C-alpha cells in the first residue's frame, strides 16, 4: 500500500468519523438486528447465533472489510433476553474492533402485540498500524513503525415491537455518548467525536398463498451532519425454505448508492445461509466494483414443539 493511499484512507476514515456516518452497515440487516438494536436480544425464545462477512468495493485496494458474530438468548424467563456482538471492521490501515453486550425485557407480552426495551454496553478499540504502510521513498520519517490504539466505552438503548407475528418495528441508538476520538494531540486542534446514530426499522410478512410470502423490510439511519441513510428490500419466500429478493440503498450522486440482490436458503429447521451482492450505482462503480456479503444464521439449541418459527420476521 503506497503512502498516497494511506493519506486518502486516513482522510476518509477520520472525516467520516468526525462529520458523517460512523456505524458499519450490512445489506442483510433484516437478519442482523442485534447489531443495532439491543431490544432484539432473546426475542426468538432460544439460543441463536449469526455470523456475517462483508467485502465492500472488491476492486479497490484497502477497501472496507467487515465481519461480525452475535449470539442471544432468553435467560430465567422468556421475557428477559441477553446477547453479545463481536465485530471487526477494516479499511486501509485503520481497524475498528467492538464488543457489545445487550439486555432486553419484554414490557408488553400480549398474544397479538409484544414490546421489548433494551440497553447495551459497548467497548470499542480504534487503531491505525503505520508499520503496514509502504512508503514511496525508502526512508520516510512520517512512518515510524508503530500502532496507535484508542479504547472507548459507550452505551445504547432501543425498543422492538411485533404485531401478530406479521409486522415488526424498532427504534434504537446503539451509541449515545459523544466520545472524543481522533489522533490530534496538538493544543487547540479540534478532536473528532462519536456521533449518535438513530435507527428506525420495520418489516413484515404478506401471505400470498400456501407456499409464498412477500417480505418487505426497511432500515432508516440518521446521524447529525450526514444525509439520511435508507435501505429497502423486498423478498419472495417459498415454503419458508428459500427466498430471493431485491434491495435498494439511497444516496450517492445519482440514482442511488446501490441496487442489491439477496438470497436465503434454510438448510434445515435450525440452520440457514444467506448472501447478498451490491451493484454500485454511483460514478465510482467502474473503479471500486460491487460489494458482497455472506451470512449464516443458526438456532443453537433445538426448538421445542409448538413454538412458532417466524425466521425472517423474528
Domains of the chain: 3-299 (2.40.160.40)
pLDDT 10s digits, 6-26: 333 443 443 333 334 567 889
User: Given this model, what pLDDT does residue 296 score?
Assistant: 95
pLDDT at 312 over 60: no
Mean pLDDT, range 64-72, rounded to an integer: 94
Higher pLDDT, 292 or 3: 292
pLDDT 10s digits, 222-274: 998 888 889 999 999 998 899 999 999 997 667 888 899 999 999 988 899 99
Per-residue pLDDT band at 305 (split at 50, 70, 90): low
pLDDT 10s digits, 175-209: 999 988 765 555 555 567 888 999 999 999 999 98
pLDDT at 72 over 90: yes
Distance CA 293, CA 134 (A): 29
User: How many CB atoms are closer than 10 A to CB 283?
Assistant: 10
Per-residue pLDDT band at 307 (split at 50, 70, 90): low
pLDDT at 310 over 60: no
pLDDT at 308 over 70: no
Query: What's this model's pTM, rounded to 2 decimal places?
Result: 0.85
pLDDT at 4 over 60: no
- Round the average pLDDT of the chain to a whole number and report it: 83
Distance CA 230, CA 277 (A): 17
pLDDT 10s digits, 78-90: 999 999 999 999 8
User: Given this model, what pLDDT does residue 288 score?
Assistant: 75
pLDDT at 49 over 60: yes
User: Given this model, what pLDDT does residue 10 score?
Assistant: 40
Residue 20 sits at φ, ψ, to 5 deg, of -140, -155
CA distances from 90 to 5, 28, 195, 213, 224 (A): 14, 19, 19, 37, 23
User: Given this model, what pLDDT does residue 264 score?
Assistant: 96
Amino acid at each position: 500500500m503506497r503512502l498516497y493511499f494511506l493519506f486518502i484512507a486516513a482522510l476518509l476514515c477520520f472525516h467520516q468519523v468526525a462529520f458523517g456516518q460512523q456505524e458499519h452497515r450490512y445489506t442483510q440487516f433484516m437478519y442482523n438486528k442485534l447489531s443495532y438494536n439491543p431490544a432484539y436480544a432473546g426475542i426468538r425464545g432460544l439460543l441463536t447465533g449469526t455470523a456475517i462477512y462483508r467485502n465492500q468495493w472488491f476492486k479497490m485496494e484497502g477497501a472496507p472489510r467487515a465481519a461480525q458474530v452475535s449470539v442471544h438468548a432468553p435467560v430465567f424467563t422468556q421475557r428477559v433476553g441477553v446477547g453479545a456482538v463481536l465485530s471487526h471492521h477494516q479499511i486501509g490501515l485503520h481497524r475498528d474492533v467492538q464488543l457489545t453486550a445487550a439486555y432486553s425485557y419484554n414490557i408488553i407480552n400480549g398474544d397479538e402485540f409484544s414490546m421489548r426495551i433494551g440497553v447495551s454496553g459497548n467497548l470499542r478499540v480504534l487503531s491505525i498500524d503505520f508499520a503496514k504502510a509502504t512508503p514511496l521513498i525508502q526512508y520516510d520519517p512520517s512512518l515510524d513503525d508503530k500502532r496507535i490504539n484508542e479504547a472507548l466505552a459507550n452505551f445504547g438503548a432501543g425498543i422492538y415491537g411485533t404485531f401478530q407475528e406479521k409486522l415488526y418495528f424498532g427504534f434504537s441508538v446503539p451509541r449515545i455518548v459523544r466520545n472524543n476520538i481522533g489522533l490530534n494531540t496538538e493544543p487547540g486542534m479540534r478532536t473528532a467525536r462519536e456521533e449518535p446514530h438513530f435507527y428506525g426499522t420495520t418489516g413484515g410478512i404478506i401471505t400470498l398463498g400456501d407456499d409464498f410470502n412477500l417480505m418487505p423490510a426497511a432500515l432508516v439511519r440518521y446521524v447529525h451532519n450526514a444525509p439520511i441513510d435508507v435501505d429497502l428490500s423486498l423478498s419472495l419466500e417459498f415454503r419458508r425454505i428459500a427466498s430471493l429478493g431485491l434491495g435498494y440503498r439511497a444516496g450517492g450522486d445519482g440514482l442511488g448508492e446501490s441496487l442489491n440482490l439477496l438470497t436465503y436458503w434454510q438448510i434445515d429447521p435450525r440452520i440457514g445461509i444467506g448472501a447478498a451482492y451490491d451493484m454500485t450505482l454511483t460514478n465510482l462503480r467502474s473503479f471500486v466494483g460491487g460489494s458482497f456479503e455472506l451470512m449464516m444464521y443458526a438456532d443453537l439449541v433445538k426448538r421445542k414443539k409448538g413454538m412458532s418459527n417466524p425466521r425472517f420476521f423474528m
